[in-house]
Amino acid sequence: MLSIIVPVRNEMDNVREIFDYFSGNLKELNFEVIIINDFSEDNTFEEAKSLSNNYENFKILNNQKKGLGGAINLGIEKASGENVVIMMADQSDSIKDLIRYNDLMASENYDAILGSRFLGNSKVEGYPIQKLILNRIFNLFVKFIFWNSYNDYTNAFKIYKKKALREIMPLISESFNIFLEIPLKIISRNYKYKVISIDWIGRKKGKSKFKINELGSKYLFTLIYCFIEKNLLNIKK
């Protein structure tokens, strides 16, 4: 089974589309979607619970520890599938790439497939220019620090074996920086992974929860933490 973790906060206008997005495009897969309400201030949770009565394969949970880190940890804990993928509620990631992820995990013995929006075959639309520039600078810095060729650490959309995710716990990041922590631990601990190109389209509805000016110190903390783990604690798979 494939478990798809979708954290949501104040996404009431998008909830029905989230249900249709997965149920309409994944009919050939054995999957579950775990929607985790991260302390929404609107009726996201109530709307999701109501819709779940009419859709199969959806779990609706309330986050117990505010922040994306808490939501992702809860999703991993409650996932029933052998493989776990993280996707955002804005539907910016491609269903076709999700199916490719799942096929690769099924056909080859990988612990993770790490997608990149910045390879030759990738297509990116609607990426805010300021965010794009900062993203590329930061990812280049991470590549240099960890001496690795991967170039899209910070994107959430990746797939992992649940077993590997459980082995790299605890995941200590509280916000979007958890999406940096997970692939850094996978790479540093020598899990078997493959990098592929993926597509990305900017959100069409609602507001992004990503705040650059609020997250810089958190990303730096995660980077230092993972660097210490890799080089001083010498933790291996």
φ/ψ of residue 209, rounded to 5? -90, -5
Query: Which pLDDT belongs to residue 234?
Result: 62
Q: Of the candidates 184, 94, 95, 207, which has an alpha carbon nearest to the alpha carbon of residue 138?
A: 184
41-82, pLDDT tens digit by residue?
999 999 999 999 999 899 999 999 999 999 999 999 999 999
Q: Decide which of 3.40.50.620, 2.102.10.10, 3.50.50.60, 3.90.550.10 is the CATH code for 2-233.
A: 3.90.550.10
Residue 208 has pLDDT above 60, yes or no: no
**Positive or negative CA dihedral for 56, 166, 38, 115?**
negative
The label of the residue with tokens 């995710």 reads 165
Q: Across-strand partners of 200?
A: 93, 124
171-204, pLDDT tens digit by residue?
999 999 999 999 999 999 999 999 999 999 987 6
Q: Global pTM? A: 0.92
Residue 207 has pLDDT above 70, yes or no: no
107-138, pLDDT tens digit by residue?
988 999 999 999 999 999 999 898 899 999 99
Average pLDDT over residues 221-233: 88
Q: Give the whole-angstrom CA distance, residue 114 versus residue 101.
A: 9
Helix (H/G/I), strand (E/B), else coil: 88: coil
Looking at residue 182, its amino acid is I
